[in-house]
Amino acid sequence: MKKFNFDLKKFNFAKSLSGLAGSRQSENFENTEFRRIFDKTDIIHDRENGTEEKITRKSLRVISSSIGTRKNFVTLVPMKSLSMEEFTFPFSNSTKIREALKLQVMPFTAAGDIEVFPVVTSKAGRGVGGLVWYVAPDELNIPAPQGGSYKVWPAPLPFISKLQDKGGSGVTMWIDEKNISSILWQNNKPVMSRWRKYTDQNSQEKEIAWYDEYCKANNLERGGNFILNAGGDYDDEPDEDFVEMISESVKICPWISNVNLSRMAIEDERDLARTVGLLTVAACWLLAIGTITLGASFLSLIQTDKQTQDIRTRSENFYIQNFDPEHKGRISNPVTLARNKISEITGAGGDGHPFEEILADMGEIFANNDNLKITLDTVRYSGEGVDCTGSAPDMTTILNFRRAWNDYASTVQVDNTQFVAGIGYRFDLRVRW
């Protein structure tokens, strides 16, 4: 069994050449300051009464500080109530994961509130797997630094790199003035967290012996030990050996960088859930309003289309009944045809443009344009003008035919142009004087 004792007071790379090469320092933590928490006692003197009062409060002490501008802070905390377990869910939504985990621990909340910190370590399809950390709320009263990102890690968590020669199995242990906090690992996965009060130098040996018996009784791989003694004060200088150790641990277990057992993380999660909830409600209302508006517009469109079809059908029926009872099929422009028929009957507008003159004009147009390949299927004459229906091989020919009529009439218009396979372009030409 391997035991690795690491005393922070003796290992500062800036003062010793026994550390690892500085070029291996992780870029992820080059702007990170690592701190630990400890109880600071202040004595307040009451001069009037001649008494003294001791006040103990939690304070932070630097373990290793970055060289440049400090942007990130990580506080290592030995938590008494910390426990963990694995989870697997068929969904990946963080809010749903948190709610499902809270339901699982609800029977145990009778003894007190529990804060839940899930960390996803793997994904499979739509489902996820990971670790959940349970902590009592009163242990989250940890001073937060001003500015920069802020995380709280369990004290013995980021030292798994020191157990790699044992396959990632064993115990990482944190010792300071009052605490012994440890995590049992199996194949680079934490399986148990444990805390004991530090009383004397034998506390460490007793804790190691306890793990020996526990692993033997539960048929677990005992592996090795890494023990970090964090008690005492340190210089506010970069400890590259310490940073390299944590960097290697994060490379082995990338999910460590997502652990944050801070009250700020809970508040951020709650704010996010509240914002998502409000946005979801707003989106549902907008969806409902949009659906109603779309439905009303669709009904209006159907009604308008029905009215248009009714007007068109009545116009066609009126024309057929009054002007062309033998006509079969649809009529594209019954109003214009009816007006032309009325003009023919009344003779209005027919003076000066007899049918013979129209035929003569049409003959001149074809005679003066040899390349005008136009086939006229129908020619309708009225007092107002001429309506022709025909076909042409392309649109250019149709446009040339329309321009040729400009010298003989005041208004020439092409309507209802459409392509017909095997024929070319069908068109209607309206000539008005």
Q: What is the pLDDT along the chain (433 residues), one digit of tens a residue?
A: 334 455 555 443 323 222 323 333 344 677 888 888 887 776 776 667 767 777 777 788 888 876 666 678 899 999 999 999 999 999 988 888 888 988 888 877 766 688 889 999 999 888 999 999 999 988 888 887 776 788 999 999 999 999 999 999 999 999 988 899 999 999 999 999 999 999 888 899 999 999 999 999 999 999 999 999 887 765 555 567 888 899 999 999 999 999 999 888 777 666 666 776 778 888 888 898 999 989 989 999 999 988 888 888 888 888 787 777 777 677 767 777 776 666 666 555 445 577 788 888 888 888 888 888 889 888 888 767 888 899 999 999 999 999 888 888 888 888 888 898 888 999 999 888 7
Nearest-angstrom CA–CA distance, 173 and 41: 26
* Residue 90: CA count within 13 A, CB half-sphere: 0
Contact in structure between 149 and 118 (CB atoms under 8 Å) = no
Nearest-angstrom CA–CA distance, 107 and 316: 79
- Is this prediction's pTM over 0.85? no
